């Protein structure tokens, strides 16, 4: 076992408790998306926007977004924690503070941010805390990491709208973390577009079946 001190109490570590990490990535990032053929790493072409989401295991989550018209590229990674340049094993230890995340690079003239928010909410159960289905751990928490004050406001408004309809369907409080994006660390090569490379691989993504009243009509802006 790499980490005999694995966290079992399902709480996020304080910064001083987190693993030290490293100043440089522990592994290289693949050049191009296995489905879309676009570069994974930035800088991205002018006119595109970036959105970051955590909704459980990033294998299935990434596929939901790369299948969306208007999305230019996607990549799996780690976000929301303390440890710089973590590895998958370190994230799974519960000692980095990261969640499994998907970076979505998209053309806002083709797909508005509100439509991505709608897909995010409907693709998982955002009321489960440090869990998503059978996947249990702080790395499976629900999160939206925003890249502008406008997106922060839209994400919070979408949460409030979805909370109302979820309560009407018998669900509890949304536990989704919504805050400005910090560093995004790409995951290892084998995680990138995993379900394209492994079509029968595990996908733990599943929604509540409750429609989100957000992004149904196109919105102005990114």
Q: Which of 57, 92, 203, 212 is catalytic?
A: 57
Q: pLDDT under 70 in the chain at which residues?
A: 1-8, 214-222
Tokens of 133: 């289905």
Per-residue buried b or exposed e for 130-162, using 16+ beta carbons within 10 Å of the residue's own CB = bbbeebebbbbbbbbbbeeeebbebbeebbebb
For CA atoms 123, 34, 59, 191, the dihedral sign is negative
Q: Give the per-residue pLDDT at 8.
A: 58
Q: Give the per-residue pLDDT at 205.
A: 87
Q: Tens of pLDDT along 91-145?
A: 999 999 999 999 999 999 999 999 999 999 999 999 999 999 999 999 999 999 9
- Domains of the chain, CATH where assigned: 46-197 (3.30.1060.10)
For CA atoms 121, 203, 177, 11, the dihedral sign is positive
Per-residue buried b or exposed e for 56-84, using 16+ beta carbons within 10 Å of the residue's own CB = bbbbbbbbbbbebeebbbbbbbbbbbbbb
Q: Is 57 a catalytic residue?
A: yes
Q: Give the per-residue pLDDT at 6.
A: 55
- Percentage of residues in the chain having pLDDT higher than 90: 86
Residue 73 near residue 35 (C-beta atoms within 8 A): no
Q: Give the per-residue pLDDT at 43.
A: 92
Q: Give the per-residue pLDDT at 166.
A: 97
For CA atoms 13, 16, 19, 21, the dihedral sign is positive
């Amino acid at each position: 076992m790499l980490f005999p001190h694995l966290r079992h109490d399902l709480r996020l570590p304080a910064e001083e408790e987190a693993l030290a990490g490293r100043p440089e990535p522990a592994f290289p990032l693949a050049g191009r998306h296995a489905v879309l053929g676009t570069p994974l790493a930035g800088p991205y072409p002018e006119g595109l926007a970036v959105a970051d989401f955590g909704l459980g295991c990033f294998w299935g989550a990434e596929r939901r977004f790369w299948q969306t018209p208007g999305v230019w590229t996607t990549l799996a990674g780690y976000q929301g924690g303390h440890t710089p340049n973590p590895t998958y094993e370190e994230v799974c230890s519960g000692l980095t503070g990261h969640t499994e995340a998907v970076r979505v690079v998209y053309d806002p003239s083709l797909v508005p941010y509100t439509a991505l928010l709608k897909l995010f909410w409907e693709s998982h159960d955002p009321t489960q805390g440090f869990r998503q289905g059978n996947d249990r751990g702080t790395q499976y928490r629900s999160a939206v990491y925003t890249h502008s004050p406008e997106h922060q406001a839209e994400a919070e408004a979408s949460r409030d709208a979805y909370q109302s309809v979820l309560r009407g369907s018998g669900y509890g409080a949304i536990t989704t973390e919504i805050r400005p994006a910090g560093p995004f660390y790409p995951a290892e090569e084998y995680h990138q577009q995993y379900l394209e490379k492994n079509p029968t691989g595990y996908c733990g993504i599943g929604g509540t079946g409750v429609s989100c009243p957000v992004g149904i009509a196109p919105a102005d802006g990114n």
